[in-house]
Amino acid sequence: MTERLQAPRGTFDVLPEDWDARTALEHRARDLLESAGYRRIETPAFEATELFARGVGEATDIVQKEMYSFDDGGGRSLTLRPEGTAPISRAYMEHGMHKLPAPVKLWYLGPFFRHERAQAGRYRQFWQVGAEALGSDDPALDAELIVLLHTLLDELGVRDLRLLLSSLGQPGAREAYRDQLKEYLHAHADRLSSDVRARIDLNPLRAFDADHPGTREVMKDAPRLIDHLDAADAEHFAHVRALLDKADIAYEIDPTLVRGLDYYTRTVFEFTSEALGAQSGVGGGGRYDGLVQMLGGPPTAGVGWAAGIERMLLAGAEAPHGAAPVELFVALDDGGRREDAFATVVAARRAGLHAEMELAGRSLKGQLKQADRLGARYVAILRAQEAELRDMSSAEQEPVVPDEGEDAVSPEAIVSAALRGLRGVA
Ligand code: HAM
């Protein structure tokens, strides 16, 4: 026996009934972002592995454990994109966008790939909508992007939304802080979990995430990066907060907010929703002023976010769905010819109507039932010479009058009759 073929673990089919909600979300995001000056960009689904190793960071979980990498046959390693910020920074350099007036505002929507443990809300192929603004370090851009994501999540009815905010400062200040934190952890090593103790020098920040009671107790008084920002970074962060206050956006300062990507500098943020359970992050981002340069380009400021389509749909209000109703269904009665039915749907579609014809050999009764299921407004019933038009809301049926000088009813005459009915003209 061969194994039954199924979609790979952690992936899913987007079925016809799923598309109304996804399309509505896409249109919302597009309208919102384009009205703030963001223009759409799409980068390839795979890139040179090195782009993510350098951009996202060698030490991150994404690069160490979660990338789908493969040899392209020419000895070159490619990777299915796990995220969009590094590719967009690459495209920004490649197309000389640094010569465009700053800021360059871009948005995207597409599939991304991470080899994560699959569970509700966490997939191996998932979709993101994202926005990036490059070329300016103005705190108004950080605030603008946060407000835009807030608006999108709010419009989608995402429940129990919280906004966590922090600042990581610049790499220099971060290094100095790490040393300070290591010193503090070493001084309290006897009260830490063995796990945290073993990794003090490797990853001291992890201590903030620990569940171990002794460690948690120690971390209450640990030095916090946010209190050790240099003057320029602290001022930048104060500006971002003041602008969010101006926009009436509530946030919580979370000095332990760690995002799983290495490129962040200064502002970082994450929107969470209780509705998502364990996978509470619905969207997040931050500033990445060193990324373009790290990839070999000129010094370039950047800030942006990405939000998971599936998580937004899971945490959002039920979107209205259902296919657009059929305006004209073409049925065949005794003597009616399939060629005429075909010509009639073609003429109706050319006239801009949503039209369908019988394609499963049903009886007339079965055809009327099918038209009803499709929500059809009118049904044209074709016979040998004549045709009738049935108004499905009133069940009234009227003969279609042939064109002058003709015996048989033409497809155009049927479409004209339907159009008159749809427009409410007698
Ligand atoms: P991220 O936080 O890794 O950020 O991902 C953004 C969002 O993508 C998450 O909040 C979540 O909704 C969704 N997501 C991530 N992984 C999965 C998964 N395995 N299954 C389902 N949804 C997932 C970034 O990707 C950054 N590039 C964001 C950014 C843009 N920062 C600056 N600009």
Summarised one tens digit per residue, pLDDT across range 198-235 is: 989 987 887 887 889 999 999 999 999 999 899 999 99
d(CA 234, CA 169): 8
130 lines ligand 1 (CB under 6 A): yes
Q: Which one of 66, 89, 104, 128 would you pick to mutate in the ligand 1 pocket, going by the greatest count of ligand atoms within 8 A of its CB? A: 128
The one-letter amino acid at 319: A
d(CA 356, CA 92): 46
126 Cα: distance to centroid of ligand 1 (angstroms): 9
The CA radius of gyration of the chain, in Å to the nearest whole number, is 29
129 Cα: distance to centroid of ligand 1 (angstroms): 9
User: Which residues of 1-121 form beta strands (DSSP E)?
Assistant: 39-40, 46-48, 69-71, 77-80, 104-113
Are 257 and 170 in contact by the 8 Å Cβ rule? The answer is no
Check residue 27 and give its pLDDT.
97
Nearest CA among 234, 238, 269 for reference residue 252: 269
Report the DSSP beta bridge partners of residue 308. Answer: 128
> Phi-psi category of 348—alpha, beta or left, where left has phi over 0 and alpha has psi -120 to 50?
alpha
**Residue 143, C-beta contacts closer than 8 angstroms, at least 6 positions apart:** 239, 240, 243, 244, 247
d(CA 55, CA 62): 11
106 Cα: distance to centroid of ligand 1 (angstroms): 17
User: H or E segment at 378?
Assistant: strand 378-382
pTM: 0.89
**Angle in degrees, CA 239, 242, 248, rounded to 5:** 145
Task: Compute mean pLDDT per 10 residues along the chain, 426 residues long, and list them.
Answer: 89 95 96 97 98 92 94 96 98 97 98 95 97 98 98 94 95 87 95 91 83 92 91 96 97 89 95 87 97 96 98 85 85 94 96 95 96 96 95 96 90 96 81
Helix (H, G, I), strand (E, B) or coil at 273: strand
Around Cβ 70, how many Cβ atoms within 10 Å?
A: 13
Check residue 320 and give its pLDDT.
60
304 lines ligand 1 (CB under 6 A): yes
Check residue 322 and give its pLDDT.
66
282 lines ligand 1 (CB under 6 A): yes
299 Cα: distance to centroid of ligand 1 (angstroms): 25
Establish how many alpha carbons lie within 13 A of residue 408's alpha carbon, considering only the half-sphere containing its beta carbon: 11
55 lines ligand 1 (CB under 6 A): no
d(CA 178, CA 110): 36
Check residue 205 and give its pLDDT.
82
Check residue 319 and give its pLDDT.
63
Q: Which one of 47, 311, 312, 313 would you pick to mutate in the ligand 1 pocket, going by the greatest count of ligand atoms within 8 A of its CB? A: 311
Check residue 211 and give its pLDDT.
85
